[in-house]
Amino acid sequence: MVKQAEDNIEGRKIMDRLKNHKETKTGLLEDMLSFIHYTPDREADILAFMEKYQKTENEERPAILENLRHCMDGKEYPNPYAGGYHYTPEDVSLMEKILDEYIDDLILAEGDPAAISECVKDTVLKINALNEECGRHLIDTWRRERLCSFINSAAETAGLTHEKDHTLQHRMW
């Protein structure tokens, strides 16, 4: 009876730690969003329009020149980087959902190493698919390290041993 009560207390502690672990993804998601968040900067935008002009087909150049004129004159103009983004805020929201579901699934695994390993695998495969949909631009080296750390530390909190990178055999990023 005492052993069962101790196990229940330990199980609740693990659940609480995993729920708190969800919050550690915030910096990673904010970094993903900051890369695609546009803040107008007239001087940088003039250069961006000029570069876009040089790299564009002739028939598209008049529209770019018009936008450049608006930018130079201080008038309203479109985001010169808009066509260069490889993922959207919706993709970042989907990443957040994947990571939240991962933590929820780890809680349901109740410390079973095989179930935890399956959670890791399923999550990494979902992230692989999302990253592919984003032209492999969603996860760079820094984000890869942060994602691996998030996934591995949660798996270890849930009950896997800290012996290796649990994502390595499944990830394509």
pLDDT at 79 over 80: yes
Same domain, 91 and 29: yes
Q: What is the pLDDT of residue 38?
A: 87
Mean pLDDT across 15-35: 91
Enter the pTM of the model.
0.78
Same domain, 32 and 91: yes
Closest CA to 117 of 150, 173, 161, 172: 161
Question: Which amino acid type is present at position 154?
Answer: A
Measured distance CA(103)–CA(109) in Å, rounded: 10
Same domain, 96 and 154: yes
Same domain, 59 and 138: no
Q: How confident is the model at residue 7 (pLDDT cuts 50, 70, 90)?
A: low
Domain contains 9? no
